[in-house]
Structure 1
C-alpha cells in the first residue's frame, strides 16, 4: 500500500483475520476464506463467491443473509486455489447444491472450474457463473471474454436473493446468468494502485489525463483522455454504456439500476457530484432510474477512480435486486429471512482435508526425493533472481504481479517438498505436495498452471519405482496437454504454452539421448520460443485487452518457464545419474 509498510506475504491473511474479528456476528474464517455464521431455517442453495484479495468489499464483505453464503479469498490480486474453493463450498453448502460465481479472469476460471469438478465428484451439484460486465475488455461479439468488475455486485445480489427465496440450483443459476447478461460497466482512473510492500504504483496516469477502460488488478486503461468535468465524465460513461444496451433497441422509457463504484481513494462527495450528473444525463436520454447505489463495492487498493454500472432488470430481476440483504458492507432495507446461529463444528470440518496419509513408496523412488527437492530449490532461486524483471514485463500489458505470484508459489512448493523429509515419501508424492502448495499459495493463472505441471509430473513419476526418462517425458507431455486443455491456450496466443509446447516437443524428439542432454536441448528450444513471443500479439489473458502495448515484450509466463527449465538443465547435468541409485532416469 502507499502508506504503511506491509509484508506482501502476510497481508491478505492479516486483512482477513482483522475483517473477521470486526464482523464476527456475520462471518467466520474457514480454510480458504469466510462463511456465514448463521443460516436460515430452510436449507438454501449455497452461493459461494470469490477472487483475489485487494478488492474489498468484494468478496468477503458481501457474505451474509440475502447475499453470499461464503467467499473464497485468494492472495493479493490472485485467484484462490481449487482446493480453497472446494473447502469453502463444502462448508457453506446445505444439501441443495452450490452456485460458484466470480469475475471472468483466467486464473479464477481455471481454479473455480477445477473446484467444481472436485465437488461434483464428491456428489455435490454445482453450477458456475462468471461475471462479464466490463464493456471495454472485449467487443460485444466476444462478451464471454470480458472481465468482471463492479457488476459482480449485481450477480451476487440477485443470486443470493433467489437462494434466500428457496429457489433450486437451476433457478438460482438462471437468474444469475440473466443478471450478468443485463449488466454493463465501464471504469476510469486518475492514478494506479500500489501493491502492499511495493514503492511504485502498477501504472501511472499523466497529470491532467484520465485512463479509460482499466481493470481492477492494476491493468492500465485501454484509452486515455483529458480529465473532464463531472458533467463530461457522466456523459462519457453513460453514452459509452448506452452504446450497448442489453436486448438492443431504444433505451428510452426503460428502467435501470445505477451503481457508481469507487475504486479505492475517490471521495464519496465527488462520487455524489458525478452521480447527480449521471442522473441528469440518463433523464435527458429518457431513461428512468429504478434504484441507485453510490459507494465502494469492488475496489483496487487505493486507486483513484470509479466505474459506472448500468443494470437493466426485468420485473423478476428488479424484485430480486430489491430483496432484503445484510452483510458487512451491503445492506438492503427489509427483513432478511430469519437466521439462526450455526456451529461449524457440525459441518464435518475434518472431512475437508483431501490429503490422506502418505502412500508407501519404493526405496528406489525415495532415493530421488533429494533430487526433487534440489530441483525445487533451484527453481525457487531462479524465480527469486528474476522476480523484479518478471514483474516489470508483466506490468507492460498486465497487472505486474507475475513475479510475486511465481515467488509465492515456488517458495510454498519448496517448503511442502521439504516437509516430506522423514515421512518415507516417494518422488511422486513429494511432487504432488509441491503442486498443491504452489496452487494454494500462488493463486492466479500461473498458480493454477504450475500446479497442473507439477501434478502431471507427479502422476507420471509415481512412487512405485525410480523415475524413468520415459516417465519424465510423459509427465511433461501430459502437463502440456493439461495446460492447453484447462487454460484454453495454443501456440501463438502469447502465453506460457509458447515455451511449454516447444519444450515438450523437443524433449520427446530427443528420446534417444540421456535425459540430462535431452532436457538441455528442450530448454534451449523453450528459451528461443519464449524470446520469440516478443513479436506476438496476445490472444488470451489480461494482456489481450491491451493488444499492441505488449509488442516488443515477451510473455512473462513463457519467460519464467524458460528460465526455470534452463536452470534445471544445469542442475540435472551435474546431478544425473544419482550415485548408488538405478540409472533408470538417465536412459529411456
Structure 2
C-alpha cells in the first residue's frame, strides 16, 4: 500500500482527507469534526476507533450522521486525550454521546474520557456496539465485538440526535439498534499494515476464513473456498439464526466488501443474498452494497442485517449528508461554517527534586532510550506473535508508545523534572500518543509508578522499586479487567513485581534485585505460550494462540530487561 512514513500514516491520511472534503470536515485535536455548525440544542454524537476502516469512521460526519470522529492510529484505539479533544471541540452545552465498537482499548479510553467530561460538568455517555455474531455466543453477547453493523447503529444514533430526541431516548434508540443488528463475515486474504511486508494473517490456498474481525483478527475457523452462492447462504444463515422474537420481516441490509473485494464480485453474491432473504419472507429496506466499513486491503465479504421496527426504519431512511454517504439532498455545503478554537499549550514547570531523584531521573531517561531501541528492533517479531490470534498491531503500538515516552522523558528532564515527574510525563505521552489498550495501560502504569517514586526521596532502593512496580500492576488490574492467568502483559509484570519484592526483602541491591526479577519475568512471559487468552481481541480465536506466547507479556519482559544497561 502507499504511504510516506508508516509512523505518520494517520496524520498524513487526515491531512489529505480534510483537504479533499473541506465542505464536510475540519481537523480538531484528536480527530475530525463537522465543518458546519450543529443545530442549537442538538446533542453532539461522536464515534471513533482506529484508522484503516474508511468510510468508517471519519467518513460519515455530517448532517444526520456523526458530528465528529476520534481517529486513532491504524487499528488502534484513540487515546483518552484524543477523545477529550474531539468531544470538547463539538460539545455545545447539551451533552456528548460517544459511540464505538466493543473493543478493550476503545472502552477504556472512551469511558475514561466520558468520566472526565462528567467531572467538568458535561453530560457525557458512552455506548459500545456488539454486532459480530462470530466473536461470542449468545450467552456472552456482551463480549461480542463491533463489525460492519456498526454503520447501522451509527446511523440510528446520528439520525435520532438530528431529530432532536432527549438524551435518554438517544441511548434507548442506539441500544435497540445494536440489539437488533447482526453481522457475519468471511475472509479470503488478510490485510497488510502500512510498512509491513506480510499481511496480518494468511488464508491457505483453496480456503476461506470464517468470522474474521475488522482489525484483521483471524476468524473462528477455516472452510473450503466456496462459490458465491454458497458464501451467500453461509452469511444469510448465520445472521438470520438470531432474528428477534418480534421480527417484523422488514430489514436493513449491508453487503460489504471490506477493502479489496471487487464490486462485481459483491453483485454476484448479492443476487443470491437478496433471493435468500426474500424467500424467507423479508422486505429489504434501502439495502446497501459496497464499502462502508473496511479493513485496509482485506479481501472478504460481510453481511450485516438490522431488524427494523417502525422507529428504527424511520432513522435508517432519514436523510443524511456526509463525505462518503448521502441520503436525500445535499445540505452540508450550504451550512454555516463553524470556527473551532485553537488550543494553546501551557509550558511545563517542575519543582526541583532531591539530589537522589535528580540522579535517578537521568538513569530513567537513559532506560527509556534503551527501551525504545529494543522495542524498535523487536517490532516485526512482536507483530508476528500478536498476529497469530490477534490483529498484529502490538509491535507498531509499542514502537509508538516507547518512542513518545522516551522523547517526553528526555524533554521533561531537560526542563528540570526529577524521577517521579519524568515517569509521569513519559506515561502521559505513551497513553496520549500510542492509544490502544496497551497504550492506556502502559501510560497509567507509569504514572502510578511515578507517584510512588516521587521527586524528593533521599535514596532509591529495591523496596521503592518494588512498591512502584506494585502500584503499576495494580493500576493495570483496576483499568483493564484482566487478571493473572488471562494471557496478558500482567502475566509477566506481576511475577516480576513479586520477585522484586522478595529480593528487596532479602536485602539485595536495586540492581541485583532487578536483574533477578527480570529473569523471572522473561520465564513467565515465555510460559504464556501454554495459556489461552480470556480477554481482548485474541479471545475469539483462543485455541490458535496455544503454543505462542502473549505479545504483551513478551514486550513487557523485554522492556523490563532493558532497564538495566548491558555494559
What TM-score comes out, normalization by structure 2 length?
0.95
SS of equivalent residue, structure 2 residue 535: coil
Alignment match of 1:145 (pick from 140, 143, 146): 143
Counterpart of 2:80? Answer: 82
SS of equivalent residue, structure 1 residue 517: helix
Counterpart of 1:541? Answer: 536
Counterpart of 1:459? Answer: 451
Aligned 1:22-421 pairs, distance under 5 A? 22-245=20-243, 247-248=244-245, 251=247, 254-333=249-328, 339-345=335-341, 349-350=342-343, 357-364=348-355, 365-421=357-413
Q: Which runs of 5+ in 1 are unaligned?
A: 575-588
Aligned 1:508-587 pairs, distance under 5 A? 508-512=501-505, 513=507, 514-570=509-565
1:425-465: CA deviations, max 9, x gaps?
22222222211221222221111111112111122222334
CA offset at residue 169 of structure 1?
2.2
Counterpart of 1:497? Answer: 490
SS of equivalent residue, structure 1 residue 215: coil
1:497-526: CA deviations, max 9, x gaps?
111111222222233333222222322221
CA contact (8 A) 1:523 1:569 kept: no
CA contact (8 A) 2:31 2:71 kept: yes
Aligned residues: 562
SS of equivalent residue, structure 1 residue 537: coil
- Are the structure 2 counterparts of residues 542 and 299 from structure 1 closer, same or farther at C-alpha, using a change threshold of 3 Å? same
1:201-233: CA deviations, max 9, x gaps?
111112222211011112122222222222211
Separation of aligned partners in 2, 1:466 and 1:104: 46
> Which moved further from structure 2: 523-532 or 304-313?
523-532
CA contact (8 A) 2:45 2:67 kept: yes
SS of equivalent residue, structure 1 residue 552: coil
> Which moved further from structure 2: 185-194 or 458-467?
458-467
Separation of aligned partners in 1, 2:459 and 2:90: 41
1:179-199: CA deviations, max 9, x gaps?
111110011111111111122
Separation of aligned partners in 2, 1:256 and 1:350: 44
Separation of aligned partners in 1, 2:167 and 2:419: 42
CA offset at residue 150 of structure 1?
1.0
Aligned 1:418-433 pairs, distance under 5 A? 418-433=410-425
Separation of aligned partners in 1, 2:150 and 2:352: 46
SS of equivalent residue, structure 1 residue 75: strand
Aligned 1:430-445 pairs, distance under 5 A? 430-445=422-437
CA offset at residue 336 of structure 1?
6.0
Separation of aligned partners in 2, 1:182 and 1:517: 58
SS of equivalent residue, structure 1 residue 48: strand
Separation of aligned partners in 2, 1:47 and 1:41: 12
Alignment match of 1:7 (pick from 5, 8, 15): 5
Q: Are 1:476 and 2:457 an aligned pair?
A: no
Counterpart of 1:577? Answer: none
CA contact (8 A) 2:365 2:413 kept: no
CA contact (8 A) 2:61 2:67 kept: yes
Separation of aligned partners in 2, 1:531 and 1:332: 53
- Are the structure 2 counterparts of residues 18 and 335 from structure 1 closer, same or farther at C-alpha, using a change threshold of 3 Å? closer
SS of equivalent residue, structure 2 residue 42: coil
CA offset at residue 5 of structure 1?
5.4
RMSD: 1.9
CA contact (8 A) 1:44 1:96 kept: yes
SS of equivalent residue, structure 1 residue 40: coil
> Which moved further from structure 2: 149-158 or 461-470?
461-470
> Which moved further from structure 2: 106-115 or 471-480?
471-480
> Which moved further from structure 2: 198-207 or 332-341?
332-341
CA contact (8 A) 2:41 2:94 kept: yes
- Are the structure 2 counterparts of residues 554 and 467 from structure 1 closer, same or farther at C-alpha, using a change threshold of 3 Å? farther
SS of equivalent residue, structure 1 residue 564: helix
Separation of aligned partners in 2, 1:474 and 1:14: 42
